[in-house]
Structure 1
Protein backbone atom coordinates (compact mmCIF):
# COMPACT_ATOMS: atom_id res chain seq x y z
CA UNK A 1 0.00 0.00 0.00
CA UNK A 2 2.92 2.29 0.75
CA UNK A 3 4.17 2.26 -2.84
CA UNK A 4 0.68 2.22 -4.36
CA UNK A 5 -0.28 5.34 -2.40
CA UNK A 6 2.94 7.34 -2.77
CA UNK A 7 4.05 6.07 -6.17
CA UNK A 8 7.56 4.82 -6.86
CA UNK A 9 9.22 8.25 -6.69
CA UNK A 10 7.28 9.29 -3.58
CA UNK A 11 8.12 6.03 -1.81
CA UNK A 12 11.79 6.42 -2.74
CA UNK A 13 11.82 9.96 -1.34
CA UNK A 14 10.05 8.89 1.87
CA UNK A 15 12.52 6.07 2.49
CA UNK A 16 15.51 8.27 1.73
CA UNK A 17 14.10 10.96 4.01
CA UNK A 18 13.77 8.44 6.84
CA UNK A 19 17.33 7.23 6.26
CA UNK A 20 18.72 10.77 6.21
CA UNK A 21 16.86 11.65 9.41
CA UNK A 22 18.08 8.57 11.29
CA UNK A 23 21.65 9.04 10.10
CA UNK A 24 21.55 12.61 11.43
CA UNK A 25 20.29 11.19 14.75
CA UNK A 26 23.34 8.94 15.04
CA UNK A 27 22.30 5.72 13.34
CA UNK A 28 25.16 5.15 10.88
CA UNK A 29 23.16 3.47 8.13
CA UNK A 30 19.61 4.32 9.05
CA UNK A 31 16.88 1.67 9.02
CA UNK A 32 17.19 -1.75 7.41
CA UNK A 33 13.85 -1.97 5.63
CA UNK A 34 12.28 -5.27 4.67
CA UNK A 35 9.39 -5.14 2.20
CA UNK A 36 6.48 -7.49 2.83
CA UNK A 37 5.44 -8.83 -0.57
CA UNK A 38 1.97 -10.33 -1.06
CA UNK A 39 2.45 -13.02 -3.75
CA UNK A 40 4.54 -13.71 -6.83
CA UNK A 41 3.74 -11.55 -9.84
CA UNK A 42 1.94 -8.85 -7.89
CA UNK A 43 2.12 -5.62 -9.88
CA UNK A 44 2.30 -2.03 -8.70
CA UNK A 45 1.86 0.76 -11.22
CA UNK A 46 2.31 -1.77 -14.02
CA UNK A 47 5.62 -3.17 -12.77
CA UNK A 48 6.31 -6.44 -10.97
CA UNK A 49 6.38 -5.58 -7.26
CA UNK A 50 9.47 -7.66 -6.59
CA UNK A 51 11.40 -5.54 -9.10
CA UNK A 52 10.29 -2.24 -7.53
CA UNK A 53 11.37 -2.80 -3.93
CA UNK A 54 15.06 -2.19 -4.56
CA UNK A 55 14.30 0.88 -6.67
CA UNK A 56 12.47 2.56 -3.82
CA UNK A 57 15.11 1.73 -1.23
CA UNK A 58 14.10 -1.45 0.55
CA UNK A 59 17.00 -3.59 1.73
CA UNK A 60 15.34 -7.02 1.66
CA UNK A 61 12.04 -8.79 1.06
CA UNK A 62 9.84 -11.24 3.00
CA UNK A 63 6.20 -12.29 3.38
CA UNK A 64 3.53 -12.57 6.01
CA UNK A 65 1.63 -15.88 6.04
CA UNK A 66 2.63 -16.82 2.52
CA UNK A 67 1.15 -20.30 2.76
CA UNK A 68 -2.24 -21.15 1.24
CA UNK A 69 -3.53 -20.54 -2.25
CA UNK A 70 -6.14 -17.95 -1.37
CA UNK A 71 -8.35 -18.91 -4.31
CA UNK A 72 -7.49 -22.61 -4.29
CA UNK A 73 -9.29 -25.62 -2.86
CA UNK A 74 -11.00 -25.40 0.51
CA UNK A 75 -8.67 -27.92 2.19
CA UNK A 76 -4.97 -27.56 1.34
CA UNK A 77 -2.10 -29.75 2.50
CA UNK A 78 0.59 -28.07 4.61
CA UNK A 79 3.55 -30.09 3.32
CA UNK A 80 2.55 -29.62 -0.33
CA UNK A 81 2.16 -25.87 0.21
CA UNK A 82 5.48 -25.52 2.02
CA UNK A 83 7.30 -27.48 -0.67
CA UNK A 84 5.86 -25.13 -3.26
CA UNK A 85 6.69 -22.02 -1.23
CA UNK A 86 10.25 -23.19 -0.57
CA UNK A 87 10.79 -23.52 -4.33
CA UNK A 88 9.64 -19.90 -4.76
CA UNK A 89 12.11 -18.37 -2.28
CA UNK A 90 14.86 -18.21 -4.89
CA UNK A 91 12.46 -16.65 -7.40
CA UNK A 92 11.72 -13.77 -5.03
CA UNK A 93 15.44 -13.24 -4.45
CA UNK A 94 16.20 -13.36 -8.17
CA UNK A 95 13.36 -11.07 -9.22
CA UNK A 96 14.02 -8.49 -6.52
CA UNK A 97 17.82 -8.67 -6.57
CA UNK A 98 17.52 -8.23 -2.79
CA UNK A 99 18.10 -10.59 0.12
CA UNK A 100 14.98 -12.69 0.68
CA UNK A 101 14.09 -13.82 4.20
CA UNK A 102 11.51 -16.62 4.05
CA UNK A 103 8.39 -16.54 6.17
CA UNK A 104 7.11 -19.80 7.59
CA UNK A 105 3.65 -20.19 9.11
CA UNK A 106 2.58 -22.97 11.44
CA UNK A 107 -0.70 -23.27 9.52
CA UNK A 108 -3.78 -21.40 8.38
CA UNK A 109 -7.39 -21.69 9.47
CA UNK A 110 -9.35 -18.47 9.96
CA UNK A 111 -12.69 -20.22 10.38
CA UNK A 112 -12.81 -19.36 14.12
CA UNK A 113 -13.49 -15.81 12.91
CA UNK A 114 -16.42 -16.94 10.77
CA UNK A 115 -19.97 -17.93 11.47
CA UNK A 116 -20.81 -21.31 9.96
CA UNK A 117 -24.15 -21.64 8.21
CA UNK A 118 -25.27 -25.22 7.56
CA UNK A 119 -21.69 -26.27 6.79
CA UNK A 120 -21.48 -23.76 3.93
CA UNK A 121 -18.04 -22.27 3.32
CA UNK A 122 -18.13 -19.12 1.16
CA UNK A 123 -15.05 -18.94 -1.09
CA UNK A 124 -13.55 -15.99 0.76
CA UNK A 125 -11.85 -15.00 3.98
CA UNK A 126 -12.38 -16.03 6.75
CA UNK A 127 -14.12 -19.22 5.64
CA UNK A 128 -11.71 -20.21 2.89
CA UNK A 129 -9.13 -21.87 2.69
CA UNK A 130 -8.08 -24.17 5.53
CA UNK A 131 -4.61 -25.74 5.69
CA UNK A 132 -4.53 -29.30 7.00
CA UNK A 133 -1.72 -31.66 7.93
CA UNK A 134 0.30 -29.02 9.75
CA UNK A 135 2.19 -30.15 12.83
CA UNK A 136 5.29 -29.10 14.77
CA UNK A 137 7.59 -31.60 13.04
CA UNK A 138 6.68 -30.42 9.53
CA UNK A 139 6.85 -26.78 10.63
CA UNK A 140 10.29 -27.32 12.17
CA UNK A 141 11.52 -28.95 8.97
CA UNK A 142 10.47 -25.98 6.83
CA UNK A 143 11.71 -23.43 9.35
CA UNK A 144 15.08 -25.18 9.16
CA UNK A 145 14.97 -24.99 5.36
CA UNK A 146 14.11 -21.29 5.59
CA UNK A 147 17.05 -20.61 7.89
CA UNK A 148 19.36 -22.57 5.59
CA UNK A 149 18.10 -20.58 2.60
CA UNK A 150 18.76 -17.23 4.24
CA UNK A 151 22.13 -18.41 5.58
CA UNK A 152 23.17 -19.22 2.00
CA UNK A 153 21.49 -16.29 0.22
CA UNK A 154 21.29 -13.33 2.58
CA UNK A 155 23.57 -11.36 4.89
CA UNK A 156 22.38 -13.33 7.93
CA UNK A 157 20.42 -16.42 8.90
CA UNK A 158 16.94 -15.02 9.44
CA UNK A 159 13.43 -16.30 8.83
CA UNK A 160 10.12 -14.83 9.87
CA UNK A 161 7.46 -16.88 11.63
CA UNK A 162 3.76 -16.19 11.45
CA UNK A 163 2.86 -15.82 14.31
CA UNK A 164 3.31 -15.86 18.07
CA UNK A 165 -0.40 -15.87 18.92
CA UNK A 166 -2.66 -15.64 15.87
CA UNK A 167 -5.10 -18.20 17.27
CA UNK A 168 -8.04 -17.01 15.19
CA UNK A 169 -6.15 -17.66 11.96
CA UNK A 170 -4.58 -20.95 13.02
CA UNK A 171 -0.93 -19.91 13.10
CA UNK A 172 0.63 -19.55 16.51
CA UNK A 173 3.71 -20.64 18.45
CA UNK A 174 2.24 -20.44 21.94
CA UNK A 175 1.75 -23.72 23.80
CA UNK A 176 -1.62 -25.34 23.22
CA UNK A 177 -3.55 -28.39 24.37
CA UNK A 178 -3.05 -30.25 21.07
CA UNK A 179 0.72 -29.81 20.65
CA UNK A 180 1.91 -28.66 24.08
CA UNK A 181 5.23 -26.87 23.57
CA UNK A 182 5.70 -28.58 20.19
CA UNK A 183 5.78 -25.43 18.08
CA UNK A 184 8.38 -23.79 20.33
CA UNK A 185 10.42 -26.98 20.48
CA UNK A 186 10.46 -26.99 16.68
CA UNK A 187 11.84 -23.46 16.63
CA UNK A 188 14.58 -24.47 19.04
CA UNK A 189 15.43 -27.55 16.97
CA UNK A 190 15.46 -25.59 13.69
CA UNK A 191 17.86 -23.07 15.20
CA UNK A 192 20.07 -25.87 16.47
CA UNK A 193 19.81 -24.73 20.09
Structure 2
Protein backbone atom coordinates (compact mmCIF):
# COMPACT_ATOMS: atom_id res chain seq x y z
CA UNK A 1 0.00 0.00 0.00
CA UNK A 2 1.54 3.35 -1.06
CA UNK A 3 1.51 6.57 0.99
CA UNK A 4 -1.37 8.05 -1.02
CA UNK A 5 -3.56 4.97 -0.45
CA UNK A 6 -2.67 4.90 3.24
CA UNK A 7 -3.58 8.57 3.59
CA UNK A 8 -6.92 8.13 1.77
CA UNK A 9 -7.73 5.10 3.92
CA UNK A 10 -7.01 7.08 7.09
CA UNK A 11 -9.16 9.99 5.90
CA UNK A 12 -12.01 7.61 5.03
CA UNK A 13 -11.82 5.91 8.44
CA UNK A 14 -11.80 9.26 10.20
CA UNK A 15 -14.81 10.40 8.18
CA UNK A 16 -16.74 7.27 9.10
CA UNK A 17 -15.87 7.77 12.79
CA UNK A 18 -17.07 11.37 12.70
CA UNK A 19 -20.28 10.32 10.95
CA UNK A 20 -20.99 7.61 13.52
CA UNK A 21 -20.31 10.01 16.37
CA UNK A 22 -22.60 12.66 14.91
CA UNK A 23 -25.43 10.21 14.28
CA UNK A 24 -25.23 8.40 17.60
CA UNK A 25 -27.78 9.77 20.11
CA UNK A 26 -25.95 8.13 22.98
CA UNK A 27 -22.78 10.04 22.20
CA UNK A 28 -24.29 13.46 21.62
CA UNK A 29 -25.09 15.61 24.65
CA UNK A 30 -26.92 18.16 22.52
CA UNK A 31 -29.85 16.10 21.32
CA UNK A 32 -32.45 13.84 22.92
CA UNK A 33 -31.55 10.17 22.53
CA UNK A 34 -33.86 8.17 20.28
CA UNK A 35 -35.65 5.25 21.91
CA UNK A 36 -38.31 2.80 20.79
CA UNK A 37 -40.51 4.10 23.62
CA UNK A 38 -40.79 7.60 25.02
CA UNK A 39 -40.72 7.28 28.81
CA UNK A 40 -42.16 10.34 30.51
CA UNK A 41 -41.82 10.60 34.29
CA UNK A 42 -43.91 13.08 36.24
CA UNK A 43 -41.76 15.53 38.18
CA UNK A 44 -42.98 17.21 41.38
CA UNK A 45 -40.98 20.51 41.58
CA UNK A 46 -41.21 21.19 45.31
CA UNK A 47 -37.68 20.41 46.50
CA UNK A 48 -36.18 23.89 46.47
CA UNK A 49 -36.75 27.19 48.24
CA UNK A 50 -39.98 28.87 47.15
CA UNK A 51 -40.70 32.27 48.75
CA UNK A 52 -44.48 31.78 48.46
CA UNK A 53 -44.23 28.57 50.48
CA UNK A 54 -41.86 29.72 53.22
CA UNK A 55 -44.66 29.78 55.77
CA UNK A 56 -45.18 26.08 55.00
CA UNK A 57 -41.51 25.08 54.90
CA UNK A 58 -39.47 27.41 57.16
CA UNK A 59 -36.29 25.33 56.66
CA UNK A 60 -36.26 26.78 53.12
CA UNK A 61 -35.70 23.38 51.52
CA UNK A 62 -39.19 22.90 50.13
CA UNK A 63 -41.02 19.67 50.80
CA UNK A 64 -37.79 17.91 51.75
CA UNK A 65 -38.68 19.23 55.20
CA UNK A 66 -41.61 16.86 55.67
CA UNK A 67 -39.60 13.96 54.22
CA UNK A 68 -36.76 14.07 56.74
CA UNK A 69 -39.14 14.84 59.60
CA UNK A 70 -41.49 11.96 58.77
CA UNK A 71 -42.01 9.17 61.31
CA UNK A 72 -43.69 5.73 61.12
CA UNK A 73 -47.44 5.72 61.75
CA UNK A 74 -47.39 2.12 62.97
CA UNK A 75 -44.89 -0.72 63.55
CA UNK A 76 -43.31 -1.82 60.29
CA UNK A 77 -44.19 1.39 58.47
CA UNK A 78 -41.17 2.27 56.28
CA UNK A 79 -40.73 5.96 57.09
CA UNK A 80 -38.87 8.18 56.62
CA UNK A 81 -37.75 7.64 53.03
CA UNK A 82 -34.08 8.58 52.71
CA UNK A 83 -32.69 9.79 49.36
CA UNK A 84 -29.40 8.14 48.40
CA UNK A 85 -28.28 11.38 46.70
CA UNK A 86 -29.12 13.51 49.71
CA UNK A 87 -31.53 16.43 49.78
CA UNK A 88 -30.68 18.02 46.44
CA UNK A 89 -31.71 21.53 45.45
CA UNK A 90 -33.45 21.02 42.11
CA UNK A 91 -33.28 24.77 41.31
CA UNK A 92 -29.48 24.44 41.28
CA UNK A 93 -28.31 23.48 37.74
CA UNK A 94 -25.52 21.28 39.16
CA UNK A 95 -28.00 19.23 41.19
CA UNK A 96 -30.45 19.07 38.30
CA UNK A 97 -27.66 17.92 36.00
CA UNK A 98 -27.25 14.85 38.23
CA UNK A 99 -30.95 14.03 37.77
CA UNK A 100 -30.93 14.57 34.00
CA UNK A 101 -27.78 12.51 33.54
CA UNK A 102 -29.26 9.60 35.51
CA UNK A 103 -32.63 9.86 33.76
CA UNK A 104 -31.34 9.68 30.18
CA UNK A 105 -28.81 6.95 31.07
CA UNK A 106 -31.66 4.78 32.34
CA UNK A 107 -34.26 5.28 29.62
CA UNK A 108 -36.30 8.18 31.04
CA UNK A 109 -36.12 10.65 28.17
CA UNK A 110 -38.91 13.05 29.22
CA UNK A 111 -39.95 14.89 32.38
CA UNK A 112 -43.57 15.99 32.79
CA UNK A 113 -43.35 18.92 35.18
CA UNK A 114 -46.26 19.62 37.50
CA UNK A 115 -46.86 23.28 36.71
CA UNK A 116 -48.84 25.72 38.89
CA UNK A 117 -50.53 29.08 38.61
CA UNK A 118 -51.73 30.53 41.92
CA UNK A 119 -52.65 34.05 42.99
CA UNK A 120 -52.28 35.39 39.44
CA UNK A 121 -48.76 34.06 39.05
CA UNK A 122 -46.54 30.97 38.69
CA UNK A 123 -45.59 28.74 41.61
CA UNK A 124 -42.61 26.35 41.91
CA UNK A 125 -41.23 27.43 38.51
CA UNK A 126 -37.65 27.83 39.73
CA UNK A 127 -37.09 24.11 39.37
CA UNK A 128 -37.77 24.35 35.64
CA UNK A 129 -36.39 27.79 34.86
CA UNK A 130 -33.29 27.88 37.06
CA UNK A 131 -32.58 24.16 37.35
CA UNK A 132 -33.77 22.11 34.40
CA UNK A 133 -33.57 24.57 31.49
CA UNK A 134 -30.08 25.73 32.48
CA UNK A 135 -28.76 22.19 32.97
CA UNK A 136 -30.51 20.24 30.25
CA UNK A 137 -28.74 21.38 27.06
CA UNK A 138 -31.30 19.49 24.98
CA UNK A 139 -30.43 16.10 26.47
CA UNK A 140 -34.02 15.18 27.32
CA UNK A 141 -37.53 16.35 26.54
CA UNK A 142 -40.01 17.96 28.89
CA UNK A 143 -43.59 19.13 28.88
CA UNK A 144 -46.03 20.67 31.33
CA UNK A 145 -48.98 19.25 33.22
CA UNK A 146 -51.03 22.16 34.52
CA UNK A 147 -51.64 20.94 38.08
CA UNK A 148 -54.64 23.22 38.51
CA UNK A 149 -55.88 21.79 41.80
CA UNK A 150 -56.42 23.88 44.91
CA UNK A 151 -53.42 24.23 47.23
CA UNK A 152 -54.47 23.16 50.70
CA UNK A 153 -52.77 23.09 54.09
CA UNK A 154 -52.16 19.35 54.07
CA UNK A 155 -48.71 20.39 52.85
CA UNK A 156 -48.01 21.68 56.36
CA UNK A 157 -48.19 18.79 58.82
CA UNK A 158 -48.42 21.08 61.85
CA UNK A 159 -50.35 23.91 60.23
CA UNK A 160 -53.44 24.79 62.32
CA UNK A 161 -55.56 25.53 59.22
CA UNK A 162 -56.07 21.89 58.34
CA UNK A 163 -57.86 21.18 55.05
CA UNK A 164 -58.35 24.87 54.29
CA UNK A 165 -57.59 26.20 50.83
CA UNK A 166 -54.51 28.41 50.57
CA UNK A 167 -54.78 29.16 46.84
CA UNK A 168 -57.48 28.30 44.33
CA UNK A 169 -56.46 26.29 41.27
CA UNK A 170 -59.20 27.73 39.03
CA UNK A 171 -58.61 30.76 36.82
CA UNK A 172 -60.87 33.19 34.98
CA UNK A 173 -60.50 33.94 31.27
CA UNK A 174 -58.19 36.89 31.84
CA UNK A 175 -55.74 34.72 33.79
CA UNK A 176 -56.15 31.86 31.31
CA UNK A 177 -55.02 34.08 28.46
CA UNK A 178 -51.98 35.16 30.49
CA UNK A 179 -51.14 31.49 31.11
CA UNK A 180 -51.42 30.75 27.37
CA UNK A 181 -48.99 33.52 26.46
CA UNK A 182 -46.54 32.42 29.15
CA UNK A 183 -46.39 28.72 28.30
CA UNK A 184 -46.10 29.36 24.56
CA UNK A 185 -43.31 31.93 24.81
CA UNK A 186 -41.41 30.50 27.76
CA UNK A 187 -41.75 26.75 27.19
CA UNK A 188 -43.27 25.67 23.86
CA UNK A 189 -40.54 27.51 21.96
CA UNK A 190 -37.78 25.69 23.82
CA UNK A 191 -36.24 23.09 21.47
CA UNK A 192 -36.52 20.40 24.15
CA UNK A 193 -40.27 20.84 24.61
CA UNK A 194 -42.02 17.54 23.84
CA UNK A 195 -44.13 17.48 20.69
CA UNK A 196 -46.30 14.93 18.92
CA UNK A 197 -46.44 15.46 15.14
CA UNK A 198 -44.90 18.85 15.74
CA UNK A 199 -47.61 19.97 18.17
CA UNK A 200 -46.51 20.87 21.73
CA UNK A 201 -48.10 18.61 24.34
CA UNK A 202 -49.89 20.38 27.19
CA UNK A 203 -51.55 18.27 29.88
CA UNK A 204 -54.41 19.42 32.11
CA UNK A 205 -54.82 17.75 35.50
CA UNK A 206 -58.32 18.82 36.58
CA UNK A 207 -60.63 19.58 33.68
CA UNK A 208 -63.60 20.17 35.96
CA UNK A 209 -61.65 22.90 37.82
CA UNK A 210 -60.78 24.58 34.53
CA UNK A 211 -64.46 24.54 33.50
CA UNK A 212 -65.58 25.96 36.84
CA UNK A 213 -63.12 28.84 36.68
CA UNK A 214 -63.92 29.75 33.09
CA UNK A 215 -67.65 29.70 33.72
CA UNK A 216 -68.91 26.63 31.88
CA UNK A 217 -68.41 24.20 29.01
CA UNK A 218 -68.90 26.64 26.13
CA UNK A 219 -66.57 29.21 27.68
CA UNK A 220 -63.94 26.53 28.23
CA UNK A 221 -64.21 25.29 24.66
CA UNK A 222 -63.76 28.86 23.44
CA UNK A 223 -60.70 29.30 25.69
CA UNK A 224 -59.09 26.07 24.46
CA UNK A 225 -59.74 27.05 20.83
CA UNK A 226 -58.01 30.35 21.59
CA UNK A 227 -55.06 28.38 23.02
CA UNK A 228 -54.83 26.39 19.78
CA UNK A 229 -54.95 29.49 17.59
CA UNK A 230 -52.25 31.20 19.63
CA UNK A 231 -50.06 28.08 19.45
CA UNK A 232 -50.46 27.91 15.67
CA UNK A 233 -49.77 31.63 15.37
CA UNK A 234 -46.47 30.95 17.18
CA UNK A 235 -45.46 28.67 14.30
CA UNK A 236 -46.61 25.22 15.44
CA UNK A 237 -48.98 22.99 13.42
CA UNK A 238 -51.33 22.69 16.38
CA UNK A 239 -51.69 22.05 20.10
CA UNK A 240 -51.76 18.53 21.53
CA UNK A 241 -54.05 18.60 24.56
CA UNK A 242 -53.62 15.72 26.97
CA UNK A 243 -56.06 14.90 29.75
CA UNK A 244 -55.54 13.07 33.02
CA UNK A 245 -57.99 10.20 33.29
CA UNK A 246 -59.45 9.96 36.80
CA UNK A 247 -62.49 11.00 38.80
CA UNK A 248 -61.83 14.71 38.16
CA UNK A 249 -62.44 14.16 34.45
CA UNK A 250 -66.16 14.95 33.95
CA UNK A 251 -68.40 12.24 32.54
CA UNK A 252 -71.08 14.72 31.48
CA UNK A 253 -71.52 18.36 30.54
CA UNK A 254 -74.58 20.56 30.92
CA UNK A 255 -75.59 23.55 28.85
CA UNK A 256 -74.14 22.37 25.54
CA UNK A 257 -76.69 23.38 22.87
CA UNK A 258 -77.92 20.55 20.68
CA UNK A 259 -75.62 17.89 22.10
CA UNK A 260 -75.80 15.25 24.79
CA UNK A 261 -72.44 14.93 26.49
CA UNK A 262 -72.87 11.95 28.77
CA UNK A 263 -69.56 10.08 28.75
CA UNK A 264 -65.95 10.98 29.47
CA UNK A 265 -65.15 10.21 25.83
CA UNK A 266 -67.79 12.68 24.62
CA UNK A 267 -66.34 15.28 26.98
CA UNK A 268 -62.88 14.75 25.46
CA UNK A 269 -64.28 14.98 21.94
CA UNK A 270 -66.24 18.15 22.74
CA UNK A 271 -63.15 20.00 23.94
CA UNK A 272 -60.86 18.54 21.29
CA UNK A 273 -58.42 16.64 23.50
CA UNK A 274 -55.83 14.54 21.69
CA UNK A 275 -54.73 11.92 24.24
CA UNK A 276 -55.12 10.61 27.78
CA UNK A 277 -52.96 9.12 30.48
CA UNK A 278 -53.18 8.62 34.25
CA UNK A 279 -51.22 10.49 36.86
CA UNK A 280 -50.95 7.51 39.22
CA UNK A 281 -52.64 4.26 40.16
CA UNK A 282 -53.87 5.82 43.40
CA UNK A 283 -56.47 7.54 41.21
CA UNK A 284 -57.65 4.17 39.92
CA UNK A 285 -57.54 1.81 42.88
CA UNK A 286 -57.44 2.36 46.62
CA UNK A 287 -53.74 2.55 47.58
CA UNK A 288 -53.72 0.18 50.52
CA UNK A 289 -52.10 -3.23 50.96
CA UNK A 290 -50.16 -5.45 48.60
CA UNK A 291 -48.31 -3.84 45.69
CA UNK A 292 -48.91 -6.57 43.12
CA UNK A 293 -52.63 -6.78 43.83
CA UNK A 294 -52.92 -3.01 43.50
CA UNK A 295 -50.83 -3.02 40.32
CA UNK A 296 -52.80 -5.84 38.70
CA UNK A 297 -56.14 -4.13 39.38
CA UNK A 298 -54.84 -0.84 37.98
CA UNK A 299 -53.11 -2.12 34.86
CA UNK A 300 -56.02 -4.42 34.03
CA UNK A 301 -58.03 -1.24 33.43
CA UNK A 302 -55.88 -0.20 30.46
CA UNK A 303 -57.78 -2.29 27.95
CA UNK A 304 -61.07 -0.68 28.96
CA UNK A 305 -59.59 2.80 28.65
CA UNK A 306 -58.39 2.01 25.15
CA UNK A 307 -61.86 0.78 24.11
CA UNK A 308 -63.84 3.54 25.82
CA UNK A 309 -62.03 6.45 24.19
CA UNK A 310 -61.59 7.47 20.58
CA UNK A 311 -58.29 9.23 21.37
CA UNK A 312 -55.05 7.43 22.31
CA UNK A 313 -54.58 6.27 25.88
CA UNK A 314 -50.96 6.09 27.08
CA UNK A 315 -50.34 3.57 29.90
CA UNK A 316 -49.13 4.76 33.28
CA UNK A 317 -46.74 3.00 35.66
CA UNK A 318 -46.67 3.78 39.37
CA UNK A 319 -43.75 2.86 41.63
CA UNK A 320 -45.67 2.73 44.92
CA UNK A 321 -47.78 4.92 47.20
CA UNK A 322 -47.37 6.29 50.72
CA UNK A 323 -48.50 9.88 51.27
CA UNK A 324 -48.31 9.65 55.07
CA UNK A 325 -45.57 12.33 55.41
CA UNK A 326 -48.20 14.89 54.43
CA UNK A 327 -50.75 13.97 57.07
CA UNK A 328 -50.86 13.99 60.88
CA UNK A 329 -53.01 10.84 60.79
CA UNK A 330 -52.44 7.45 59.15
CA UNK A 331 -53.54 7.06 55.54
CA UNK A 332 -53.49 3.94 53.40
CA UNK A 333 -50.21 2.92 51.84
CA UNK A 334 -48.76 0.17 49.67
CA UNK A 335 -46.80 -2.69 51.24
CA UNK A 336 -43.58 -4.30 50.00
CA UNK A 337 -43.00 -2.63 46.62
CA UNK A 338 -39.74 -3.59 44.94
CA UNK A 339 -37.88 -3.11 41.66
CA UNK A 340 -38.35 -6.81 40.81
CA UNK A 341 -42.12 -6.51 41.15
CA UNK A 342 -42.20 -3.22 39.25
CA UNK A 343 -40.34 -4.81 36.31
CA UNK A 344 -43.36 -7.00 35.55
CA UNK A 345 -45.55 -3.95 34.91
CA UNK A 346 -42.88 -2.20 32.86
CA UNK A 347 -43.04 -5.12 30.45
CA UNK A 348 -46.84 -4.99 30.54
CA UNK A 349 -46.73 -1.31 29.53
CA UNK A 350 -44.37 -2.05 26.66
CA UNK A 351 -46.68 -4.83 25.46
CA UNK A 352 -49.65 -2.44 25.59
CA UNK A 353 -47.75 0.13 23.53
CA UNK A 354 -46.71 -2.54 21.01
CA UNK A 355 -50.34 -3.65 20.68
CA UNK A 356 -51.36 -0.11 19.62
CA UNK A 357 -49.07 0.56 16.64
CA UNK A 358 -51.19 3.43 15.31
CA UNK A 359 -50.37 5.69 18.24
CA UNK A 360 -47.06 6.96 19.67
CA UNK A 361 -45.27 4.59 22.03
CA UNK A 362 -45.48 6.74 25.13
CA UNK A 363 -45.38 5.40 28.70
CA UNK A 364 -45.86 7.73 31.66
CA UNK A 365 -44.41 7.02 35.10
CA UNK A 366 -45.37 8.20 38.56
CA UNK A 367 -42.93 9.50 39.32
CA UNK A 368 -39.38 10.74 39.13
CA UNK A 369 -39.43 12.24 42.61
CA UNK A 370 -42.77 12.06 44.44
CA UNK A 371 -41.01 11.41 47.76
CA UNK A 372 -43.95 12.79 49.74
CA UNK A 373 -46.22 10.22 48.07
CA UNK A 374 -43.74 7.34 48.21
CA UNK A 375 -43.52 6.96 44.43
CA UNK A 376 -40.13 7.80 42.93
CA UNK A 377 -37.50 6.49 40.52
CA UNK A 378 -34.74 8.45 42.23
CA UNK A 379 -32.53 6.16 44.33
CA UNK A 380 -33.11 5.81 48.07
CA UNK A 381 -31.05 4.03 50.70
CA UNK A 382 -33.28 0.93 50.54
CA UNK A 383 -33.47 0.06 46.85
CA UNK A 384 -30.44 2.10 45.72
CA UNK A 385 -30.51 2.37 41.89
CA UNK A 386 -32.85 -0.62 41.60
CA UNK A 387 -35.81 1.08 39.94
CA UNK A 388 -33.60 2.94 37.50
CA UNK A 389 -31.81 -0.28 36.58
CA UNK A 390 -35.20 -1.81 35.74
CA UNK A 391 -35.86 1.12 33.41
CA UNK A 392 -32.44 0.84 31.81
CA UNK A 393 -32.85 -2.85 31.11
CA UNK A 394 -36.27 -2.28 29.59
CA UNK A 395 -35.64 0.82 27.49
CA UNK A 396 -31.92 1.18 26.67
CA UNK A 397 -30.63 -1.10 23.96
Q: Normalising by the residue count of structure 2, what TM-score does the alignment of the two structures yield?
A: 0.42
Could you say which residue in structure 2 is the equivalent of 1:138?
Answer: 341
Task: Specify the SS of the correspondent of 2:365.
Answer: strand
Could you say which residue in structure 2 is the equivalent of 1:38?
Answer: 246
Q: CA deviation at 1:27?
A: 0.5
Q: Residues of 1 paired with 2:235 and 2:320: CA distance?
A: 41
Deviations 1:29-71 (A, max 9, x none): x22111012149963437333431122111001111123666x
Could you say which residue in structure 2 is the equivalent of 1:26?
Answer: 235
Could you say which residue in structure 2 is the equivalent of 1:14?
Answer: 223
Q: CA deviation at 1:133?
A: 2.8
Q: Say if 2:263 is the partner of 1:55.
A: no
Flag structure 1 segments of 5+ consecutive residues without an equivalent: 122-126
Structure 1 residues 39 and 22, CA, compared in 2 at 3 Å: closer, same or farther? same
Please say which of residues 97-106 and 130-139 is displaced more in the overlay.
130-139
Task: Specify the SS of the correspondent of 2:281.
Answer: coil
Task: Specify the SS of the correspondent of 2:297.
Answer: helix
State whether residues 370 and 376 of structure 2, in contact with CA within 8 Å, keep that contact through their aligned partners in structure 1: yes
State whether residues 253 and 267 of structure 2, in contact with CA within 8 Å, keep that contact through their aligned partners in structure 1: no
Matched residue pairs, number?
A: 180
Could you say which residue in structure 2 is the equivalent of 1:124?
Answer: none
Deviations 1:108-158 (A, max 9, x none): 001122235xxxx3xxxxx2x211131112222212212321332251111
Q: Say if 2:369 is the partner of 1:165.
A: yes
Structure 1 segment 70-109 matched on structure 2, within 5 A: 72=286, 75-109=288-322
Q: Residues of 1 paired with 2:395 and 2:217: CA distance?
A: 37
State whether residues 60 and 101 of structure 1, in contact with CA within 8 Å, keep that contact through their aligned partners in structure 2: yes
**Bigger fraction of residues in helix:** 1
Could you say which residue in structure 1 is the equivalent of 2:127?
Answer: none
Flag structure 2 segments of 5+ consecutive residues without an equivalent: 1-208, 255-261
Please say which of residues 16-25 and 45-54 is displaced more in the overlay.
45-54
Task: Specify the SS of the correspondent of 1:61.
Answer: strand
Structure 1 residues 88 and 39, CA, compared in 2 at 3 Å: closer, same or farther? farther
Q: Say if 2:2 is the partner of 1:2.
A: no
Could you say which residue in structure 2 is the equivalent of 1:115?
Answer: 328
Q: Residues of 1 paired with 2:253 and 2:378: CA distance?
A: 39
Q: Residues of 2 paired with 1:169 and 1:163: CA distance?
A: 9
Could you say which residue in structure 2 is the equivalent of 1:176?
Answer: 380
Report the RMSD for the aligned CA atoms in angstroms.
2.4
| Larger Cα-atom Rg | 2
State whether residues 67 and 82 of structure 1, in contact with CA within 8 Å, keep that contact through their aligned partners in structure 2: no
Structure 1 residues 141 and 3, CA, compared in 2 at 3 Å: closer, same or farther? farther
